[in-house]
Amino acid sequence: MKLAVVILAAGQGKRMKSDLPKVLQPLAGRPLLGHVVSRARGLEPTSMHVVYGHGGDQVQAAFRGEHLRWALQAEQLGTGHALMQAMPEVADDELVLVLYGDVPLIDVDTLRRLIALAGPTSLGLLTVMLEDPTGYGRIVRNARGAVQKIVEQRDASRAQLKIREGNSGILAAPAKLLRRWLGKLKNANAQGEYYLTDVIAMAVKDKIKVAPLVAPRLAEVLGVNDRAQLAELEALHRADRARQLMIAGATLADPARIDVRGDVTVGRDVFIDANVLFEGRVELGDRVRIGPNVVLRDARVGAGTVVHPNSILEQSEVGEGCLIGPYARLRPGSKLADQVHVGNFVELKKTELGHGSKANHLTYLGDAIVGKGVNIGAGTITCNYDGVNKSQTVIADGAFIGSGNMLVAPVRIGRDATTGAGSTISKDAPDGQLTLARSKQVTLEGWKRPAKKPKA
């Protein structure tokens, strides 16, 4: 059967005490709903529907371009009512998977197993075993262990409240049957809502098999209602990503002090020190070593490279065997070839450094193309911006840039050229020559330093 995913995301989230809709609250740098959408995409559904309500304009704007179908739940009348809003866009021959916009850590493999239990004459139901099931609907089974119904906590008897198996809310069922059951829902319950859970008893009555699947981990079905729960899920997500990195071949100095807010791939024998933050898409080659307090954002780092402490790499590519930092900053558009050294308090922006080139101290290189084997002295600046336009500096292979140089773009430093320390270079420097641009040194005889007047 074709798969239609329906994500219920209309809740206001009053307990978040925020102007931001609950499903847009950030988890690992991405909205809660974004995690759910991403995981659902892994199932390759025919269609994906999001039921929205509070803050609908914000929610839709945040996911513009995601090819989602939107259904408005204008009144909050329960989960069954929410699902009804999406069903007109779902075909009878589709299998419907119901997910929740505030349950972000559900595993794709778990969903695949759940979908495999559902079919034209069966319904897949994801349950969870709980030490404390308070707040969860209880799964009521008969003496043979078959699921009979789900009872919400407010409607449960004393005996039912002792049941430890809870309802996750996630289910998969054929659209044709689901549509019929939703049409029969009543709101005669303690909350006066149309419960999606009531379709379980309807399925049993219609002799449709209810196939339960117990979630492998509690974290997969945990939802978010307040900021404390959001922080708990953040910690669970962080621990899970750390574990994935270690399984992939990385050594983490402290798995509890690493934060992954994107997609990270690692090679063999990678070492990652404490308090490292990954954002976006990051690739680390074999034997890469990342020092403490480093931020990598949409960066690729080649094999054998060492990134020393307190460095920031953003939208940059680093070759093999490079040395970066400490306290280096690679801004967007930076590209380093192999064996490049970028040292302490060096900043690059939209700059390429060729094989074996070095900028080891206190330097800014912006909009520059640097060739192979170039040495750039401490305190060098490419003056690339005139307040309106940005211009390029080109430094050819083998050039030696003296300390304290101001390279006023557009300008070219020739192959094997040398510029003297303290020079302001505003015209092209020829190949293989020494170019100096200093004012004449003057000593003023008889000059005296101003003296402070003695205090009264």
Q: How many Cβ atoms are within 10 Å of 57's Cβ, its own excluded?
A: 9
> Model's pTM, two decimal places?
0.86
Could you tell me if 92 and 235 lie in one domain?
A: no
Same domain, 34 and 115: yes
3-state SS class at 371: coil
As beta bridge partners, residue 359 has 342, 376
Residues with catalytic function: 361
Give the residue among 286, 310, 304 at the shortest CA–CA distance from 296: 310
> What pLDDT, on a 0 to 100 scale, did the predictor assign at position 189?
84
Residues 184 and 322 in one domain: no
Q: Return the closest-CA partner of residue 101 out of 217, 212, 179, 13.
A: 13
Q: Please name which of 273, 279, 274, 247 lies closest in space to residue 260, comparing C-alpha atoms.
A: 279
What's residue 275's pLDDT?
97
Number of domains within the chain: 2
Domain boundary among the residues 171, 201, 221 is at 221
pLDDT at 12: 80
User: What sign results for the dihedral spanned by CA atoms 101, 105, 106, 107?
Assistant: positive
Q: Count CB neighbours of 231 within 10 A.
A: 12
61 vs 78: CA distance, rounded Å: 25
Q: Which residues pair with 381 in a beta bridge?
A: 364, 406
Report if residue 66 sits inside a domain: yes
Instruction: Clarify whether residues 58 and 174 are in a common domain.
Output: yes
Per-residue pLDDT of the chain (456 residues; tens, 9 = 90+): 899 999 999 988 889 999 999 999 999 999 999 999 999 999 999 999 999 998 889 999 999 988 999 999 999 899 999 999 999 999 999 999 999 999 999 999 999 999 999 999 999 999 999 999 998 999 999 999 999 999 989 889 999 999 999 999 999 999 999 999 999 999 988 888 999 999 999 999 999 999 999 999 999 999 999 999 999 999 999 999 999 999 999 999 999 999 999 999 999 999 999 999 999 999 999 999 999 999 999 999 999 999 999 999 999 999 999 999 999 999 999 999 999 999 999 999 999 999 999 999 999 999 999 999 999 999 999 999 999 999 999 999 999 999 999 999 999 999 999 999 999 999 999 999 999 998 888 999 999 999 888 887
Same domain, 8 and 100: yes
456 within a domain of the structure (yes/no): no
Cα 236 to Cα 27, 297, 313, 358, 402, distances in angstroms? 11, 22, 26, 41, 51
d(CA 87, CA 285): 47
Give the DSSP per-residue string, 53-104.
BTBHHHHHHHTTTS--EEEE--S---HHHHHHHHGGGS-TTEEEEEEETT-T
Q: Is residue 365 part of a domain?
A: yes
3-class secondary structure, 231: helix
Query: Does 243 reside within a domain?
Result: yes
SS3 232: helix
Together in a domain, 253 and 209: no
Q: How far is CA 66 from CA 34, 48, 104, 251, in A?
A: 10, 10, 17, 35
Range of the domain at 337: 227-435
Task: Say which residues have a Cβ less than 8 Å from residue 292's Cβ, sequence separation at least 6.
Answer: 253, 273, 274, 275, 276, 309, 310
CATH of the domain at 137: 3.90.550.10
User: Which three-class secondary structure state does DSSP give residue 408?
Assistant: strand
pLDDT of residue 269: 97
Instruction: Answer with the one of 221, 245, 273 that is the final residue of a domain.
Output: 221
CA distance 345 to 164: 57
| 3-state helix, strand and coil shares in percent for the chain, rounded to the nearest 5 | 20, 35, 45
Note the pLDDT of residue 343: 98
CATH number of the domain bearing residue 398: 2.160.10.10
